[in-house]
Structure 1
Amino acid sequence: MSQVSNVSAHSKRAVKPSKDHHRINWWATALVAVCSLTIFVPLYFAISVALKTPKQLTQGNGFEWPNPINWHNFVTAWQRTNFPQALMNTAFITVFAVAFTILTSSMVAYALARNMNRPFFKFVYYYLLAAMFIPFPIIMLPMVKETGILHLDNQIGLIILYTLYGLSMNIFLYTTYLKSIPMELEEAARVDGASTWRAFWQVIFPLLMPMNATVGIITCVWAWNDFMMPLVVLTDPSARTLTLAQYVFQGTYNTDYTVAFASYLMAMAPLLIVYVFSQRWVISGVVRGSVK
């Protein structure tokens, strides 16, 4: 009985949680708090400016909370930017740009990663990587002329450009990730009679979910917030995006900051809502890909 009691006491001591397990890392907590200020302070400033009148904005240092609150800025921004139409245009471009980017970049990266031992594929890989070092202003004018000749100075042309210009960085990310996936998985699929196409879609592509989430987020934020490319490509005023619609607040001699900041918050809200509702699928995709 004494041995049993000793074993029981020893097991209780073994499962007793240590004090170090609940110790708070104050340095990490302080770092997170300081980093969060870089987000919350500008966000508070943007919200406070959007709720002020021009007279309230000129008084004080700009950080005071408005009293009374002016909600009419959002109504004015909604009307002056034709917000529903601009939102639909931006959403259309962003959704299809993300979809085509993930599909094309993953397939091209798979072909390059699995044939990197061949000189031609290695040359294509480094050729595409070299495109990352070319500044956009250098190719901007030829791009504008070419899209005009091909009648791609519209939303379809923007989707194609986002897909092509993101190819270099995305291939670099996909190729690096594909090298960590064992070849034995594809060999087992081919033994079962799967073709290369079927092996990619049924074996490799599900394992790319973490990288698909990364590339999708990068492309989504880029296409949603981009200003320069829609400015030089789109010729139809009815096809303008949110960033172009907000340019109406920039005057030659003055800027309507209160209405402009209200418009910025309205443009930011859909992206935040999409993230809140989609983060569960993004995180589950990352976990599912890492487990596989």
Structure 2
Amino acid sequence: MRIRLNWPVMILISLGTLLILFPLYMAITIALKNPEELAKSLFAFPTTFHWENFTNAIKMTNFFQALRNSALVTTSTVVLTLLSNSLVAYAIARNMDQKFFKGLYFYFISAMFIPFPIIMLPIVKLASAFHMTNLVGLTILHTVYALAFNVFVYVGYIRSIPVALEEAARVDGATTWSTFWRIIFPLMAPINATVGILVCLSTYNDFLLPLIIISDPSMYTLPLVQYIFQGQFNTDFNLAFSSYLMAMLPMIIIYLFAQKWIINGVTQGAVK
């Protein structure tokens, strides 16, 4: 049996693959060159691999301390988000027939359309007033800022879970609190994985919020310390791209192992 190839689709897939792989190729080749090779040819493969670029980048950025800060903020944000946002979404999803909860749902949805630069100044003022210009404050702000989108995703998924399960638990004497943690929350594993991965990626890669909140260099996250390579008159591209590759590696590994959870969670959450 001969299989027909859909050539227009194959061409589009090939072009899309090239568009994704070419920037990665550029990042790797630039990271392994010295300034002289960069000046000669930007696109050529390096003749000699300069692995010392990675060592110099680690020293200039205090890489491992910044990685520790990013890992701490990211892990704390993911855990706090899953525990708190799921509770808020559950309360809304199971009470959508009431005007208050329905209005609260649309209130959260409307927050998704507010650009972050508009609320930057109030956030800085509030964070300074409540002494939240540290990693703890950064974690709380990330959790709150992601609430709107997460409620939108969670509500759609929770409403697909049969209410009969909760009614049976109440008949057996379970409270609303125990029903959620023992029955509903375990059933939310796919959407929890999806939300957790998306929050992990966005928190780890965020530059703007730490920039306006954190002033102590010892608390800088990875996106902030990488800004050191950009000077007023020149940029150390080879060291910068070496640092970028090292910073990308943890998230690439996490995403490769967890991408099926993202697709599965989004697909199931779309079914009401």
TM-score (norm 1): 0.85
- Give 1 or 2 for the bigger CA radius of gyration: 1
Q: Which residue of 2 aligns with 1:202?
A: 182
In the alignment, residue 93 of structure 1 is paired with which amino acid? V
- Of all paired residues, the percent bearing the same amino acid is 51
| Residue pairs, 1:206-245, within 5 angstroms | 206-245=186-225
Q: Given the alignment, which residue of 122, 140, 144 partners 2:102?
A: 122
Q: Given the alignment, which residue of 40, 43, 51 partners 1:59?
A: 40
Deviation of 1:262 (Å): 0.5
Q: Which residue of 1 aligns with 2:51?
A: 71
Deviation of 1:196 (Å): 1.0
Any conservation in 1 of the 2:108–2:148 contact (CA below 8 Å)? yes
Q: Distance in 2 between matches of 1:37 and 1:100?
A: 38
Q: Distance in 2 between matches of 1:36 and 1:268?
A: 19
Q: Hey, which bits of structure 1, 4+ residues long, moved more than 6 A?
A: none
Any conservation in 1 of the 2:194–2:261 contact (CA below 8 Å)? no
TM-score (norm 2): 0.91
In the alignment, residue 21 of structure 2 is paired with which amino acid? F
| Residue pairs, 1:5-16, within 5 angstroms | none
In the alignment, residue 224 of structure 1 is paired with which amino acid? Y
Q: Which residue of 1 aligns with 2:69?
A: 89
Q: Given the alignment, which residue of 119, 126, 132 partners 1:152?
A: 132
Deviation of 1:249 (Å): 0.4
In structure 2, relative to structure 1, the CA distance for the partners of 1:280 and 1:149 (3 Å cut) is: closer
Any conservation in 1 of the 2:112–2:148 contact (CA below 8 Å)? yes
Q: Distance in 2 between matches of 1:273 and 1:121?
A: 39
Structure 1 range deviating more: 177-186 or 161-170: 177-186
RMSD, aligned CA: 2.2
1:25-46, CA deviations, whole angstroms, 9 ceiling, x for partnerless residues?
A: 6555444333222221110010
Count of residues paired in the alignment: 268
1:237-279, CA deviations, whole angstroms, 9 ceiling, x for partnerless residues?
A: 1000000000000101111111000000010012223344x53
Question: What SS does the aligned partner of 1:133 have?
Answer: coil
Deviation of 1:230 (Å): 0.3
Any conservation in 1 of the 2:85–2:147 contact (CA below 8 Å)? yes
Unaligned runs of 5+ in 1: 1-18
